[in-house]
Amino acid sequence: MVRNALKIVTIGGGSSYTPELIEGYIKRKDELPIKEIWLVDIEDGKEKLEIVGDMAKRMVKAAGLDWEVHLTLDRREALKDADFVSTQFRVGLLDARIKDERVPLSHGVLGQETNGAGGMFKAFRTIPVILDIINDMKELCPDAWLVNFTNPAGMVTEAAIKHGGWKKTAGLCNVPIGHKKQAAEKLGIDEDKLFFKFAGINHFHWHRVWDDEGNERTAELIDLIYGPKTEQESHLKNIFDASFHYEQIKDLGLLPCGYHRYYYIEDEMLAHSVEEFEKGETRAQVVKETEARLFELYKDPKLDYKPKELEQRGGTHYSDAACELIASIYNDKRTEMVVSTQNNGTITDLPYDCVVEVSGPVTAHGHEPYNWGNFPPAARGIIQLMKGMEETTIRAAITGDYGAALHAFTINPLVPGGKMAKTLLDELLIAHKEYLPQFSEAITRIE
Ligand code: G6P
């Protein structure tokens, strides 16, 4: 790392989220001596890259900074000598997400772009690409940190660390940030006076909270957030805020994450998603319209700050995670963060070499998770199942093994087993075939 001239690369730089990142870097300008920011995209994303890239340049200029902002379709040129590489790409763009959500819903099954059948297909499309990126990094920037935001973030991070061998990978998500803010607000205590311990896997973690006098406040928060008299909110734009069953959350004694709704109250989430499907308003379709509006705004040559409208996306506070992680590694700040990282025994119920999403300080040598131990049986059972599903999905993504893919589908709690699992798998394989070269043999057989 050149101490005074950082080169930061973002793959998927044409994303509408890029202004979040740029804002985050600008906020940390005194901590990060950035020289170059490289935004990389593919030919199909060129127009978006130019629009959002020009806006990034305006933001940097308006902040009075002399950072170079480079836009390129040449990933290798960007990666050369990079210090940090962040990833936020979507293979197949939003149209692929629309299929991920709509094909399962056409059979009355949740698609869900990260955890459900849709998320598994996003993993199938994305994992080979992240492994390619790592191959380039091995050659062009062997000391760089990989900061992964690409969904399904947990599986993609596990593929990078365990299968790509890139130990300097941190997987990030904005969901824990929202839960921390929610706890602080409900308790009326400053967030930095609270101590949080998160544990689980991406979009499937629980947390506990203590105050600065050593009192655990988890049970009180369960009452305040999920109690019978409370109107529950998901605090994520992309998640319908159906209410958890209070008694069940109380029984577990841990605070759930917003995505647990898909498992604990699956029927209500499904009913809502089916309604959206019938109106032609699945989340991906809504996001496509929001994106189009955002890019119209970004075209305005006078716009040189992140517009409020970006908060319509589910990933708000995204930059707080990515940019703070980078600043914390670079300055050994030891900021306490929730990161997808190698388990190494942090959660005793899960394999040593898998990736888990847990709390701990981010040091110059990476994330140092706090020990969590084991889960109560009601959480242990389902998290082990979810991890087995993730490991099987990753294996299928790498090998293109149809049997492994079917197995992963069958054990995913959001996908019914038997004939339905097979029908969905086959339809999705055909729908996404141009992005699934590893499955070409299986696809030819089923077509
Ligand atoms: C949350 C999740 C992200 C996800 C996003 C979707 O923030 O943590 O993993 O990508 O929501 O938001 P969108 O606006 O794309 O539906």
Give me the interface pTM, i.e. the ipTM: 0.97
Pair of tokens at residue 140: 């062009």
Pair of tokens at residue 362: 């981010």
Q: Are 338 and 198 in contact (CB under 8 A)?
A: yes
* Separation between Cα atoms, residue 339 and residue 248, nearest integer Å: 27
Ligand 1 within 6 A of 287 CB?
yes
Ligand 1 within 6 A of 156 CB?
no
Q: Calculate helix-pair angle for 377-399, 402-411, nearest 10 degrees.
A: 160
What is the 186 CA–ligand 1 centroid distance (Å)?
23
Checking phi first, is residue 18 left (phi over 0); if not, alpha (psi -120 to 50) or beta? Answer: alpha
Ligand 1 within 6 A of 175 CB?
yes
Residue type, 305: Y
Quick one: pLDDT at residue 432?
Answer: 98
Ligand 1 within 6 A of 154 CB?
no
Rounded to the nearest 5°, which phi and psi values hold at 258? Answer: -55, -35
Residues 139, 144, 150, 151, Cα dihedral to 10°: 90
Pair of tokens at residue 37: 């920011």
Ligand 1 atom nearest 284 alpha carbon: 16
| Local structure of 397: helix, strand or coil | helix
- In a 13 Å sphere around the CA of 63, the CA atoms on its Cβ side amount to 21
Mean pLDDT score of the chain? 96
Pair of tokens at residue 184: 């602080």
Quick one: pLDDT at residue 315?
Answer: 80
Q: Which of 238, 313, 317, 339 most suits a substitution to test ligand 1, by most atoms within 8 Å of the C-beta?
A: 238
For residue 361, is the peptide bond before it cis, meaning its omega torsion is within 30 degrees of 0?
no
Quick one: pLDDT at residue 234?
Answer: 76
Rounded to the nearest 5°, which phi and psi values hold at 169? Answer: -120, 135
Residue 257, annotated as binding a ligand: no
Q: Which of 236, 262, 318 most suits a substitution to test ligand 1, by most atoms within 8 Å of the C-beta?
A: 236
Q: What is the DSSP string of 418-433?
A: THHHHHHHHHHHHHTG
Closest CA to 265 of 149, 371, 414: 414
Q: Which residue has the tokens 């940090």?
A: 84
Predicted confidence (pLDDT) per residue in 276-315, tens digit? 999 999 999 999 999 999 999 999 999 999 898 888 888 8
What is the 238 CA–ligand 1 centroid distance (Å)?
6
Report residues of the chain scoring pLDDT below 70. Answer: 1-3
* Separation between Cα atoms, residue 279 and residue 83, nearest integer Å: 45
Quick one: pLDDT at residue 166?
Answer: 98
Ligand 1 within 6 A of 148 CB?
no
Quick one: pLDDT at residue 174?
Answer: 93
Q: Say which DSSP state 191 is in.
A: G
Residue 235, annotated as binding a ligand: no
Q: What is the longest distance spanned by two Cα atoms in the chain? A: 63
Residue 245, annotated as binding a ligand: no
Quick one: pLDDT at residue 3?
Answer: 66
Ligand 1 within 6 A of 314 CB?
yes
What is the 237 CA–ligand 1 centroid distance (Å)?
8
* Separation between Cα atoms, residue 170 and residue 149, nearest integer Å: 9
Name, in order, each residue with C-beta under 8 angstroms of 375's C-beta and a sequence gap of 6 or more.
199, 206, 347, 349, 383
Residue 371, annotated as binding a ligand: no
The strands making up 366-367's β-sheet, listed across from edge to edge, are: 68-72, 34-40, 6-11, 84-87, 145-148, 169-171, 335-342, 355-363, 366-367
Predicted confidence (pLDDT) per residue in 322-336, tens digit? 999 999 999 999 999
Ligand 1 within 6 A of 171 CB?
no
What is the 415 CA–ligand 1 centroid distance (Å)?
21
Quick one: pLDDT at residue 348?
Answer: 98
Closest CA to 347 of 208, 203, 216, 201: 201
